[in-house]
Chain A
């Protein structure tokens, strides 16, 4: 598939998502519409639809009934925290996943391989919100070494700017750990499989025969070639992590876009829910699109087709 068809299909999907966002509340029984703040004027549906699209371009997403503020302002305020949380988690699980996967493949059949395998597969079986709740019970309340909620300590004066950063990091650790630990398994397994395939290749045997050190072979010959299939998977897991923030932010009351979904569902604040949904869906699409482009760039075979 060449780049143009890719771009076209992404544009089509964005269009479908925007349209769904418009039509969903209108297809549902009258219930949610009446008190939702979604316009129910006497314009025709087509006019409303065009207005909706024009407003979107101007960043107008409607009025949040629970926050009593424009949806876009609420989202803008939350976005930075979600970006921080997702960014940190993604960086950690990609690096840790590749490292553990490579170690596991290298030590295949040994105790360290089996240990990593069992541990990471078990962790992948935890719903993110449940692991987060366990962390809160044990690490935040019983041991009292991490903050219990939020992204910053409220009502506190920091003596130094360094103190602010430290406080934010302290609040970030548990939510980021929850997201990382529940999503690392996929990257780990894929790296492990990919490495095992590559390690069976003749050029690895040749490199060994040349007398190169095991570490050099792993780094330069094996890992480099094993990484290619991982890129698409990173995007897939990033989508999983972005969705996962809905649950993790809820558990930790972390003030990002994800917790807005929970709040909006509880308060029946449909405009806010739709706004948060749009941001989350577009973010996932963007990540996938970037991964597709990077993949085309890295693997000439895809370009040729």
Chain B
């Protein structure tokens, strides 16, 4: 069944393109030290134009922009993926607990409602502003605030799953809660969790780039958003040609990652819920 799922995904063109782009960035992130021509902290002649030594020139303090970009892939993807995995984990756990064990349902769902209504991004910005800017703090604030939608979706799925006849039958044969959860509930929410994981990643990378852009990123581990922050702060970025090698590549990396996550998200949603087919 899983192989059929994968095969079906691979026939989806949008999904394939998205997956291809994402794999490209993940490989870049993992092998950054081998791909990058220089150490991103090493300083050379500042604001150099692109030349054979520095393909994308250097920034205001003389760091090689191409190396920054390659290492930036690491930072951006690490924050995004780590935070979305944690938030998916929290959301799924709470959703399953709320949906399966009725007693905690009311309490958990009120907290979920609260987190859904609270303006999350402004809150993330102000909390990040009061903390020391670091990669781990960013992971923490995003994970803390982005689990609520997942919890709600998983809960309603568990509510329908736990009353299915086959679950009743299993229970009648004397299966315990944990057997039913592990055997019948969790495997069936996995596709939804994966879709949520992709959608939350998409949101977090957009938000992370924004936070870094306004100067709340980690200055010792620059993400793509931080590169754009540096570029924007450079006085003649719009007047000179510097935008072409300083601003455009970092921005396009963000756009492509978001686009790839969007494509993967649509492809997965089509698989989980074929009625949503985008283009026929």
A10 CB contact (under 8 Å) in B117, B232, B276: B117
Chain A residues numbered 271-305 whose CB sits less than 8 Å from any CB in chain B:
273-274, 277, 280-281, 284-285, 288
Known contacts A13-B118, A109-B279, A281 near B123 by CB under 8 Å: yes
Chain A residues numbered 248-262 whose CB sits less than 8 Å from any CB in chain B:
250-251, 261-262
- Count A-B pairs with CB separation below 8 Å: 121
Q: Is the CB of A127 within 8 A of B276?
A: no
Q: How far is the CA of A78 from the CA of B262 in the complex (A)?
A: 35
Residues of B within 8 Å of A108, CB to CB, are 280
Most buried by B among A121, A129, A261, A273: A129
Q: In angstroms, how far is the closest chain B Cβ from the Cβ of A38?
A: 11
Q: Which A residue's beta carbon lies closest to that of B254? A: A127
Please choose the segment from B124-132, B150-158, B159-167 that sits at the chain A interface, where 4 or more of its residues have CB less than 8 A away: B124-132
Interface residues on A, range: 35 or more
Please choose the segment from B51-59, B94-102, B173-181, B213-221 that sits at the chain A interface, where 4 or more of its residues have CB less than 8 A away: B213-221
Q: Say yes or no for B9: interface residue by CB 8 A criterion.
A: no
A124 CB contact (under 8 Å) in B232, B262, B280: B262
Known contacts A136-B238, A243-B121, A281-B119, A262 near B129 by CB under 8 Å: no
Known contacts A109-B279, A125-B262, A24 near B126 by CB under 8 Å: yes
Q: How far is the CA of A246 from the CA of B123 in the complex (A)?
A: 13
Interface residues on B, range: 35 or more
Residues of B within 8 Å of A281, CB to CB, are 118-119, 122-123
Instruction: Convert B204-248 into 0s and 1s, putting 1 for each residue whose CB lies closer than 8 angstroms to a CB of A.
Output: 001001100111100000000100100010000011000100010
Instruction: Convert B236-268 into 0s and 1s, putting 1 for each residue whose CB lies closer than 8 angstroms to a CB of A.
Output: 001100010001000100111011001000000
Known contacts A9-B114, A134-B251, A137-B243, A265 near B215 by CB under 8 Å: yes
Q: Which residues of A contact B (CB under 8 A)?
A: 9-10, 12-13, 16-17, 20-21, 24-25, 27-29, 32, 108-109, 113-114, 117, 121-122, 124-130, 133-134, 136-137, 140-141, 148, 193, 239, 243, 246-247, 250-251, 261-262, 264-266, 270, 273-274, 277, 280-281, 284-285, 288
A-B contact pairs, 12 of them (CB 8 A): A9-B114, A13-B117, A13-B118, A17-B118, A25-B130, A32-B130, A114-B279, A133-B238, A140-B238, A273-B129, A280-B122, A284-B119
